[in-house]
Amino acid sequence: MQPDPDPSPDASRRRLLRAVAGLTVAGGLAGCNQSGDGTDGSPAPAESDTSAQSATTAATTAPPTDPPTATVTPTPTQTATAAPTPASRSVAREFVAHLRAGEFDAAHAMGTGELASTLPQSTLERLWLGLLAQHGAVESTGSVETTTRDGSTVFVVPVDCAEGSARVELGVDAEGRVGGLWFPAEYRSPDYVEDAAFTERTLALEPEGCTLPATLTVPAGAGGGSGTATATDSSTVPGVVLVHGSGAHDRDETIGPNKPFRDVAQGLATRGVAVLRYAKRTYACDVPRDEWAIDDIVVDDAVHALGVLREQPEVDPERTAVAGHSVGAACAPRIAERDGRVAGAAVLAGNARPFTEVYPPQVRHIFEVQGGLSAREQQQLAAVKQLMTAVENGSVADGRPIGPLPGVWWKTFSEYDQVATANRIDAALLFAHGGRDFQVPIDPAMTGWRDGLDDSSAARFERYPDLSHLFQPGAEPSLQTEYTFADNVARELVVDLADWTTGL
């Protein structure tokens, strides 16, 4: 994708990247996480706050990586003009023009003192870069429109990008100062989903110790309404259980305004595949942190969900599969082995290396996107590596926090060999990965799976050069802030996953 054609000096962009990368060093570990500092002064992985948000305000905190969640703080108080004026419209146009040109100091200087104290320039820069990463280079801006927020007039500047569009909303006071700023972002169903092609019903999964709210998405006409599923029933359809990343996710794997599991579930059901998605245990229940072993919070619940899926009258019990994303992808072979009945396991953005080897490169990426490692950043990276060594040596207590994730989480992943497990299971394998994924980079991951499998020719490998960790299109560099803005899982991933599943 070509860079923004507007003038934007290299120095400004480098400064922008440094500001963005320096705001938070999140530790992905192939899951959906929230930012946080680790023990020993090091950056560390985090669990995600997956609350859905309809808009991102100027005071949005730094979204975390792998993938991030937009955390919205109260909207800055702003005094808007009582009625739109040509001068106010001009202020709105000028402000967005500064952002588009990379002139963040000039844009920030247009704000009121109250806004400036709530909205640091670095946050403004980070949000704009996230918009470009998610939607691509700005191609044009539309005519200034107006709307209302809390009874006050605000000005709306539509922004059209190479891969999508966005809205910038501004409150302008009587002195022509920007007193409020919003980047609204709302989930929208992708165009490859046909509402008439499926139905949905709510279920409650009851694994030991927790009730997990769930949704079953079923192709229209599946099962013939018989109430009993058999392997020979021609009206039954294949079924998939979706398994989340490391965050405390709801059933849609909600990340800011994005709902990747809803996209996938409804996209697959449109194409003849039933899908069961459920809230993760750490989202639905109060789980003591020293009980966050991967079996306890990921694997066992997924195996239970597969059993429930096979009980549904629309589902062919001999054609079920597990499809994991991120940490759920790495766990997919373990889930398949424990279940013993799945026909297939799909590894979506899943890592093949030990998880202690994943985190330091994530940190390095965030630093190196700035153009080099400072002395302080080198110290932080060294601290991260020391923590990973401690995990590998078994010297971390189960309850010790390494960031918001406890030692037992790290310990059980360190003991798990996902490639060796994949070689033991008798199930079809699909590996899919986005080329823009910096949380779990594509080449180490896909190469690791292909080289590690006893018979890689029997597996299906799909690469998507322009897609991120969430399998959404965008522009380089891929950074955590892009998921502040709404997009959908790419059609090609859904089509390939449906094709693979219906072939089981």
Residue 477: predicted pLDDT:
78
Read off the CATH number of the domain in which 34 is found: 3.10.450.590
**Within-domain flag for 218:** yes
Distance CA 49, CA 282 (A): 11
**Within-domain flag for 191:** no
Half-sphere exposure of 68 (CA within 13 A, CB side): 27
* 288 shares a domain with 177: no
What range defines the domain where residue 322 resides? 197-354+410-502
Which DSSP state fits 97? H
Q: CB neighbours (10 Å) of residue 473? A: 24
**Within-domain flag for 72:** yes
Among residues 407, 403, 453, the alpha carbon closest in space to that of 431 is found at: 453
> Cis before residue 45, ω within 30 degrees of 0?
no
* 254 shares a domain with 345: yes
* 178 shares a domain with 74: yes
HEC string of 230-247 equals CCCCCCCEEEEEEECCCC
Among residues 429, 411, 410, 409, the alpha carbon closest in space to that of 419 is found at: 429
Distance CA 418, CA 19 (A): 36
Residue 482: predicted pLDDT:
86
* 100 shares a domain with 237: no
Which DSSP state fits 74? P
Q: Give the model confidence (pLDDT) of 253-280 as tens digits.
A: 999 999 999 999 999 999 999 999 999 9
Distance CA 147, CA 155 (A): 6
Q: Is 231 helix (H, G, I), strand (E, B) or coil?
A: coil
Burial class (CB in 10 A: 0-12, 13-18, 19+), 372: exposed
**Within-domain flag for 42:** yes
Residue 204: predicted pLDDT:
97
Residue 48: predicted pLDDT:
32
* 43 shares a domain with 97: yes
Among residues 22, 69, 49, 56, the alpha carbon closest in space to that of 128 is found at: 56
**Within-domain flag for 395:** no
**Strands, E assignment, 113-194:** 138-141, 145-149, 152-161, 165-172, 178-184
* 173 shares a domain with 283: no
Residue 77: predicted pLDDT:
41
Q: CB neighbours (10 Å) of residue 340? A: 11
Angle between helix 359-368 and 375-392 (nearest 10): 170
* Residue after which a domain boundary falls, among 184, 213, 229: 184
* Residue after which a domain boundary falls, among 125, 155, 184: 184
* Residue after which a domain boundary falls, among 158, 184, 210: 184
**Which contacts (CB < 8 Å, 24+ apart) does range 388-393 have?**
388/356, 388/357, 388/359, 388/360, 389/356, 391/356, 392/354, 392/356
**Within-domain flag for 380:** no
* 211 shares a domain with 134: no
Residue 73: predicted pLDDT:
31
- Per the listing, tokens 């153009």 go with 371
Distance CA 425, CA 201 (A): 31
* 439 shares a domain with 333: yes
Residue 13: predicted pLDDT:
40
How do beta strands 198-205 and 344-348 pair? unpaired
* 131 shares a domain with 173: yes
Sequential DSSP letters for 188-223: ---TT--GGGEEEEEEEE--TT--EEEEEEEETTGG
- Angle (CA) 342-346-348 rounded to 5° is 155
Q: What is the largest CA-CA distance in the chain?
A: 74
Q: Is 411 helix (H, G, I), strand (E, B) or coil?
A: helix
Distance CA 226, CA 249 (A): 33
Residue 65: predicted pLDDT:
30
* 335 shares a domain with 201: yes
Residue 295: predicted pLDDT:
96
Read off the CATH number of the domain in which 462 is found: 3.40.50.1820
Instruction: Please tell me whether the overall predicted TM-score, pTM, comes out greater than 0.85 for this model.
Output: no
* 297 shares a domain with 259: yes
Count the domains in the chain. 2
Q: Which helix (H) or strand (E) holds 284?
A: helix 281-284
User: Which parts of the chain register pLDDT below 70?
Assistant: 1-84, 224-234, 369-371, 403-404
User: Which residue type, as a one-letter code, is found at position 483?
Assistant: Y
Residues 6+ apart with CB under 8 A from 86: none
Residues 6+ apart with CB under 8 A from 499: none
Q: Give the model confidence (pLDDT) of 13-41 as tens digits.
A: 433 333 333 332 222 333 444 333 333 33
Residue 504: predicted pLDDT:
96
Residue 33: predicted pLDDT:
43
459 strand-pairing partners: none
Residue 193: predicted pLDDT:
98
**Within-domain flag for 74:** yes
- Estimate the share of the chain in helix, then strand, then coil, as percent rounded to the nearest 5: 40, 20, 40
Residue 130: predicted pLDDT:
86
Residue 375: predicted pLDDT:
86
**Within-domain flag for 59:** yes
* 116 shares a domain with 244: no
- How many residues in the chain? 504
Residue 478: predicted pLDDT:
80
Residue 224: predicted pLDDT:
63
How do beta strands 178-184 and 165-172 pair? antiparallel
